[in-house]
Structure 1
């Protein structure tokens, strides 16, 4: 029996959880037609098989037709959900993992123009900033039917064999009743705290009536809205006691903060550069005050922090949700004493930011997550050992090297720089984003363990590659900034990379033309404005930095808005000319023949990269596939088989930004799906 606090079993009512690590409720947006079908099930079963004690599905499942998801959530109000949830639950149970689901009515946290175009409902007419819908103020019959909807959904989950349900009460309808900011009802459901909690207890009583006393029921709730006029810490403690004393629930799952704005959401679910486990002590106070089963998750990305949370008695179960998106085998590696092999969560938040823009959750540096049906989380050994040569040690090249080495191949990597990293190393120079370097560091450690031969400070040419006598060659040389986008004056600008690398010193009055909308433009603005310079970010888009996405934007804005920084949208940089010791920048518009001018002392252009691909085209005629890729096989998880040149002694591929400017996830995904079958 292990002495590790994380590996101790936990008894929750009649349910024995095999360890103290859980995946909290979250919606990766994998459902199909609102149902948790094969992709959704494979995602949870992969983690159950690797040893997690409890996986909570949905974040959250909708209990009613007038709670339409704003991204792809499970529809718990449909009877057909029972069969799909039963398949998921049975398979997880077979692996020794408990399963619960989070149920909710979104209230005002949705839109009326989704699904059936029904009115959004809430205990007041107050609009939520994030979703912008003005709600209908609830009537008595709305309250009555939604109480029944909650109970119906819970009954479906019991029928599906789940171990329990969790009611969501932060930012959704349940705590819209709780908060004075969002409840101005009269009578039994508004006014005093007793009245504002009545809806919650009516729902819980109805669930107990339908599902019985043995069915596990908990609440995930905010114990402090941290918002002027909202629920205070004292309110949260009182609510915690009342939930416990009601006898209607079996656990508390506490968070801190509010999610009605992007900034608030990011404080509840912190991203890279923000403090780890910021609300752990708060959750510990709730547990100490109530002496009741307490769960919690909020940026607990590493095993050491999770272990402390349990060993110190702050929590009974610790949530490591994004950590399990990065590495679904986290628990197995802890059990096997291989913590150093855990793929680290770097807090990039590509997962959550994608779902809030309507995509499915993907991990920035684990492209198999959410693709368990097509891509392997565990690399299988190859039948035949090959010599594989990779040019470039950025994220694409390092992933290709890692996967090929795990396949058992003889791998050689050439890199022009004196260390691996590529663009990631540039990104990680900013203190707030230094966690990104773990994407490279983890892969480098895995490669060294498997004997990959690295040649740094080596600008490989075709001759050097051919001297390795390769069976497969992968070009992962990335790209270089493209700044020649102006009618005139291209020689007067510098790139965002120039600023980030320190090759060019920031000016004092700077115009940044951001036509890529990614992190580089905002990082340059952050770095320049930090010196006290005046900065204007100009973009031809309707909004600035669209590739950065909502939650990643928050730390940038918290820096930039306190400095002399402005954003100008829908204007395009046309030309730059010298004007004495300054630069005259001319702006134009895609909307008409309009012109504006700026006098500045520096112009920075962020316009993506162009492939650094000379070596690829030099090797292409000598390759057996002439560089061609079978896109059908690449897209569906198949192996490459094209051979067009019988004289060629090796196959040639290029990946990542050596093909076209994309992002880190695309580069790593290219590498995995290509190299897994070599």
Structure 2
């Protein structure tokens, strides 16, 4: 019964009653415009509020000072004009019964001097952070006084916006740069002893309370154990918590473990696919038993069962399911309605976080409506007229098309050449590190079965097979095949990364893997080769390898392969391969010119993306009403496709995903959603 569910019990935080125990912790999807949380940002948080989340913590983090320029598109809490935008967000979330707080920070050394107003980066030492690379100025007394005031000013703005409270960020940012002996070399009142190192935070809290009064909720999110040589450990973390509590100025603690000054450190704090779920939950429970305060925590808690366990066992007071809510913003509603099995699973791909740093804003790898709430629906509305939709291909694009068409109430038939759904994700999930990706397919299959979608497997569809079904709309989602014919000579002597992943070709001897796509397929194949005991060189013409894998996802690959016989070579291009005895000779050049090198190897593997499997699309194009044309203006704004190029055409025809061009899983799913939602 829902009323007995530990997750659905209210929690009293000071004067504020939180309606259940599930929160989204502070994170920055990078949706602001010029530092302001406008319509897109508001719609993102409101979607989660109307589905029942107890507390949405905005910003990750909002910066309080001009010498703390955002490292991506963060909210600028030092500007007065932020207040009305935040007030609109708060008011609408409150209408749906959700509390709203915001995380405030000064980044300290975790930013760059060449951003924003080109002011020096500041920190309690001159020690540079590896990730953001800036050498900071060691803070002076007037820097400290100025930033304390900036925190108080920002808190006052947040109170004016109607926020239920604020959270001070203290892991990796300025506050715990003061706390850690690794990053605090000051003398006097703010350096030396632990009491002195925490003094800056205590002074900030005192200044905030002087502005906002005693009722406004104030918390701190911090690491209680840096898990880093030379840093502070659990005992000091507990002591810091007791100092914060003794100040009388804080109402909750949001605890994590680890450090974020390097990519590996960040990935241990926020684990990605292939790493253990909820790795810090027991740690958080131990911390809670050591301090008499409300404790929040989030770190790869992707499923309801684990969240329920965390509350039922008293490990936490509030459980953060943040990435899980990017995958499915309606988790709480589905729990209340007894539909847990319909929750779209977070697969831990961390496309959301990695993409912020690479491309500027967060998207979920398999929920294309997240971050696009203004144009894309999370709940698919029924169509006015029931149609017959035929989909060719049951990879991620085809499965999303089938799900959305099913939600629209259409009769849906899926033709798939293989014996099961999955497409490229069947290959992806062969790797233990990436096996969670198959949940993208499994969830859609379960939804399609619920919606009555018909699947015809082991069916190699020809144009006549499609037209015989008399469809109103046809979606071609046949995907692609690996493209390896990129050499001047010797293309017949190479194998693809897919050949290695599928097991059709076994690694042998000395292997050269030439990666000219920079995606997961190359890294997965590399790991298979390394695990086989083969000697491996991974070569790329780029100046960095695996750019499409992105920073956090690269960490587990590197940890695995650096322990094996693997060499990484950048800025060199494989030009040709020829036979020599029982082996191969690879000729290597460079886009920079003037280079000719040779590698004597036993096997050459090439990863160069895919080419579309699109014959059936072109066979059907002439008999379709739109001749396959997509009106991009309508696609972009999310309105129906109505173009008619052939009045005698019997059906609309579209192709999506890699059947168009080599892209990624998110692109394939987004193609399907934005086309099919209006059919």
Shift of 1:170: 0.2
Aligned alpha-carbon RMSD (Å): 0.6
The residue that corresponds to 2:627 in the other structure is: 626
Please say which of residues 175-184 and 245-254 is displaced more in the overlay.
245-254
Deviations 1:33-58 (A, max 9, x none): 10000000000000000000000000
Alignment of 1:28-177 (within 5 A): 28-177=29-178
The residue that corresponds to 2:637 in the other structure is: 636
Deviations 1:276-331 (A, max 9, x none): 11001111111111121000000000000000000000000000000000000010
1: distance between equivalents of 2:483 and 2:532?
25
1: distance between equivalents of 2:483 and 2:551?
26
The residue that corresponds to 1:271 in the other structure is: 272
- Secondary structure of the 1:162 match is coil
Please say which of residues 102-111 and 239-248 is displaced more in the overlay.
239-248
Shift of 1:647: 1.2
Deviations 1:438-461 (A, max 9, x none): 000000000011110100011010
2: distance between equivalents of 1:308 and 1:274?
20
Shift of 1:23: 0.4
1:543 aligns with 2:544: yes
Alignment of 1:203-222 (within 5 A): 203-222=204-223
Alignment of 1:294-443 (within 5 A): 294-443=295-444
2: distance between equivalents of 1:631 and 1:357?
25
The residue that corresponds to 1:521 in the other structure is: 522
The residue that corresponds to 1:4 in the other structure is: 5
Shift of 1:358: 4.3
2: distance between equivalents of 1:72 and 1:305?
32
1: distance between equivalents of 2:466 and 2:198?
69
The residue that corresponds to 1:610 in the other structure is: 611
- Secondary structure of the 1:356 match is helix
2: distance between equivalents of 1:231 and 1:371?
41
2: distance between equivalents of 1:358 and 1:446?
31
The residue that corresponds to 2:225 in the other structure is: 224
2: distance between equivalents of 1:208 and 1:38?
31
The residue that corresponds to 1:240 in the other structure is: 241
1: distance between equivalents of 2:272 and 2:27?
16
Deviations 1:121-163 (A, max 9, x none): 0000000000000000000000000000000000000001000
1: distance between equivalents of 2:112 and 2:595?
36
1: distance between equivalents of 2:302 and 2:61?
22
Shift of 1:646: 1.1
Deviations 1:49-108 (A, max 9, x none): 000000000000000000000100000000001100100000000000000000000000
1: distance between equivalents of 2:518 and 2:433?
19
The residue that corresponds to 1:586 in the other structure is: 587
**Is the Cα contact below 8 Å between 1:71 and 1:358 reproduced in 2?**
no
Shift of 1:227: 0.3
**Is the Cα contact below 8 Å between 1:240 and 1:286 reproduced in 2?**
no
The residue that corresponds to 1:466 in the other structure is: 467
Please say which of residues 163-172 and 245-254 is displaced more in the overlay.
245-254
2: distance between equivalents of 1:205 and 1:372?
39
1: distance between equivalents of 2:519 and 2:670?
19
2: distance between equivalents of 1:559 and 1:312?
34
- Secondary structure of the 1:72 match is coil
- Secondary structure of the 1:25 match is coil
TM-score using structure 2 length: 0.99
**Is the Cα contact below 8 Å between 1:471 and 1:651 reproduced in 2?**
yes
Equivalenced residue count is 678
1:560 aligns with 2:561: yes
Unaligned runs of 5+ in 2: none
**Is the Cα contact below 8 Å between 1:476 and 1:654 reproduced in 2?**
yes
Deviations 1:323-353 (A, max 9, x none): 0000000100000000000000000000000
1:484 aligns with 2:480: no
The residue that corresponds to 1:451 in the other structure is: 452
Shift of 1:245: 2.1
- Secondary structure of the 1:124 match is coil
TM-score using structure 1 length: 1.00
**Is the Cα contact below 8 Å between 1:183 and 1:196 reproduced in 2?**
yes
Deviations 1:639-675 (A, max 9, x none): 1011110111001000000000000000000000000
2: distance between equivalents of 1:450 and 1:435?
24
**Is the Cα contact below 8 Å between 1:481 and 1:608 reproduced in 2?**
yes
**Is the Cα contact below 8 Å between 1:483 and 1:495 reproduced in 2?**
yes
Shift of 1:593: 2.7
**Structure 1 residue runs of 4 or more that deviate by more than 6 Å after TM superposition:** none
Unaligned runs of 5+ in 1: none
Shift of 1:240: 1.5
2: distance between equivalents of 1:185 and 1:100?
32
- Secondary structure of the 2:4 match is coil
Shift of 1:468: 1.0
